[in-house]
Structure 1
Amino acid sequence: MTLRRLLLSMLVAAMVVVSCTSGQNGGENVNVDTSYAVEMASTWHYAGAPQRVQVGILASDANGIRPVTQGAIDLEFSYLGADGSGEPSAGPTATATYIPVPGTDASGDVPAIVTGANGIYEADAVSFDDAGLWRTTLSIEIDGVPRRLTTDFRVDAESGIPAPGMPAPKTETLALDSKNVEDESVDSMAAGGDPIPDPELHEWTIGAAIEQSRPALVLFGTPAFCTSRFCGPEVTEIQRLAVDHPDRAVYIHVEIWKDYDAQTVNKGAAEWLLRELPDGTPQMTEPWLYLIGSDGVIADRWGPLFDSADVAAALEALPPMEA
């Protein structure tokens, strides 16, 4: 099974080549003939509802491939028709702010290449009127040079995976007390015989939380095998949110892989995230973070990254749970 991985296979050949003068850019020298590419980080966009849009920007030069981080960028969206053959028709515009991988540097005010920083840019409440192929055009200034980058993406008539306003699938995800499963199927960080490092995130199943009318904050991700390097820091951040907001929800980490070597996906992750494209190709994107209300309805979702302050505000908007 081939799963689409995010922000990794941005091939240099697909990048928009931009020549720039050497100079200082957020603490790093930017060399001549640096190439830049923008790609969609978020997936499963759908028409008719406000949603988050996340994009990643990578720079490639003699020093390798590095993310552009910090600050904010402007996005313009245009509709290319149901099959992408139409002339671009102007759509919404938005400002996308930088969202760091938890624990990485987010101190800069302008887009730059910063050692140790990693993340994406997120625009909130973007609505697409029609299903089909869309284009985002990104305006950014790096090292004093303005640039415009584009990438195309699909918008479906409906979300292909669970979305806000939908009833949450009452999935019996794996937990600490699940029978006849390996620990690494519950949490990939237990591979090789290590103990599960976050047992407090594996006490509840999604189904049990819904059955008992408990709000749930659910992270789908595979910290040991996450090629984007988002999942591990996000698990740690969910642990922190659980400590800071213990009475607002139960906190659940759903491991993606039942057996990574055999490329077998856990049933719970597959029910939520594994889909088949029109050409028959299986697709799963992760990580995803879901907030499920006490009524069993999805209140919000974030992916692949989330703004911790945004999630904390959503948790605090919930009434305290009864003991």
Structure 2
Amino acid sequence: MKVIKIYLSCLLLSMALLNLSCSQEINSKTNIPKESSSAKTRIALAVSDLSIGTHRLAFGIIEPGIGPIKNDEIKLETFFLQDENNPLLKETLVAEFQKWPVGNKGVYTSMATFDRAGKWGIGITYETPNGLIERASTVIDVAEKSLAPFVGDKAYPSRNITNAITNNLYELTTDPTPYSPFYEYSIEKTITERMSSLILFASPAFCTTGTCGPQIDIIKNLHSDFSKEVVFIHVEIYENPADITGDISNASVVQAVKDWNLPSEPWVFLVDEDGIVRQRFEGLATYQEIKSALTQNNFITGK
């Protein structure tokens, strides 16, 4: 049966470094900006679906002999590579470190805008634990259009399976501690009935990135705080999760994942009462990141 393809080659490479979601480990380049003496610094991208528009960039930094860099914030520059010898500086930003709720891991995030498709460069400047200023860079591909629904797009009215179909939650999710409020509504129903929703696509037990379990726990905490204002939905990635029995080759992807054309997992989408995607998060997003987006888009009152 068909199994979801989640950029396996990039995933296997990065998991050994940061346990990042769909990461790419790329050696630092020498063109944007010029390298410091530490030429082996690695930028591990935690997002893959980049297109024209404003995106949440998420990445880790690996310093040889030191490991992951976890400063509070770093300088981030983006460049359009009209040619490698003449990169065009587009933005100078601050990327903040987002500590994950488990272990001693995390990623840097910043909202970056790409105004055209093609090759782009990311340049970072940061201070190492021993006080040195280091620089590194990498190249990314920006597409004309995202694979998954983008901010401003109409959400697809998927008919994901709910507890109206079965009372056995283990038929709806691979979460070892299923949370029944996540399975009360289909995406179609929230759109039809004009309800704001938070939709999580993830497979807690079979997540190849190792971040789906922590993500669903974060969403449970958000539900506890904001369930009166937002409908929370979890869509399992695979059909018949109870039948997989540890062998992912027996799995097939649910229709909702196909509807939304998701290239990776986990994903979180915020959909307003008009059925419009107002924010999206590829890879693990922290409680505070999602809460801030809920507040900024008037899903919650900001308590």
Aligned partner letter, 2:93: A
The match for 1:94 is 93
Normalising by the residue count of structure 2, what TM-score does the alignment of the two structures yield?
0.79
The match for 1:4 is 7
- Runs (4+) of structure 1 moved beyond 6 Å? none
Structure having the higher strand fraction is 1
SS in 1 for 2:206: coil
The match for 1:197 is 178
**1:265 to partner: Cα distance:** 1.5
Contact 1:289 1:301 (8 Å CA) reproduced: yes
Contact 1:7 1:39 (8 Å CA) reproduced: no
CA distance in structure 1 between the partners assigned to 2:258 and 2:219 by the alignment? 21
Larger RCO, structures 1/2 (Cα 8 Å, 6+ apart):
2
The match for 1:29 is none
The match for 1:68 is 69
Tell me if 1:50 matches 2:50.
Answer: no
The alpha-carbon distance between structure 1 residues 85 and 150, as it changes in their structure 2 partners (threshold 3 A), is closer
Tell me if 1:164 matches 2:151.
Answer: yes
Contact 2:230 2:300 (8 Å CA) reproduced: no
Aligned partner letter, 2:256: G
**1:315 to partner: Cα distance:** 3.1
Aligned partner letter, 1:68: I
CA distance in structure 1 between the partners assigned to 2:126 and 2:225 by the alignment? 36
The match for 2:294 is 315
Calculate percent identity across the aligned residue pairs: 25
CA distance in structure 2 between the partners assigned to 1:149 and 1:188 by the alignment? 39
Contact 1:245 1:315 (8 Å CA) reproduced: no
Q: How many residues align?
A: 271
The alpha-carbon distance between structure 1 residues 59 and 230, as it changes in their structure 2 partners (threshold 3 A), is farther
Higher mean C-alpha deviation, range 196-205 or range 147-156: 196-205
Normalising by the residue count of structure 1, what TM-score does the alignment of the two structures yield?
0.74
The alpha-carbon distance between structure 1 residues 309 and 200, as it changes in their structure 2 partners (threshold 3 A), is same
Contact 1:40 1:54 (8 Å CA) reproduced: yes
Tell me if 1:273 matches 2:273.
Answer: no
The match for 1:235 is 216
Q: Which residue of 220, 235, 246 corresponds with 2:201? A: 220
CA distance in structure 2 between the partners assigned to 1:146 and 1:226 by the alignment? 36
CA distance in structure 2 between the partners assigned to 1:38 and 1:160 by the alignment? 23
**1:7 to partner: Cα distance:** 6.0
The alpha-carbon distance between structure 1 residues 182 and 152, as it changes in their structure 2 partners (threshold 3 A), is farther
Q: Which residue of 128, 141, 147 corresponds with 1:142? A: 128
The alpha-carbon distance between structure 1 residues 184 and 150, as it changes in their structure 2 partners (threshold 3 A), is farther
- Residues 121-145 of structure 1 show CA distances to partners (whole Å, capped at 9, x for unaligned) of 0012x21121011110111211212
CA distance in structure 2 between the partners assigned to 1:218 and 1:120 by the alignment? 22
- Residues 200-219 of structure 1 show CA distances to partners (whole Å, capped at 9, x for unaligned) of 21221111111111111011
What aligned pairs does 1:152-191 form with structure 2 within 5 A after superposition?
A: 152-178=139-165, 186-190=172-176
The match for 1:132 is 118
Q: Which runs of 5+ in 2 are unaligned?
A: 18-24, 30-37
SS in 1 for 2:44: strand
CA distance in structure 2 between the partners assigned to 1:146 and 1:319 by the alignment? 40
The alpha-carbon distance between structure 1 residues 120 and 273, as it changes in their structure 2 partners (threshold 3 A), is farther
Contact 1:218 1:289 (8 Å CA) reproduced: yes
- Residues 19-40 of structure 1 show CA distances to partners (whole Å, capped at 9, x for unaligned) of xxxxxxxxxxxxxx99531022
Contact 1:273 1:285 (8 Å CA) reproduced: no
- Residues 38-75 of structure 1 show CA distances to partners (whole Å, capped at 9, x for unaligned) of 0221222222x3222111223455x9xx5332411111
Q: Which residue of 302, 306, 312 corresponds with 2:281? A: 302
The match for 1:40 is 45
Q: Which runs of 5+ in 1 are unaligned?
A: 18-32, 105-115, 191-195, 275-283
Contact 2:70 2:97 (8 Å CA) reproduced: yes
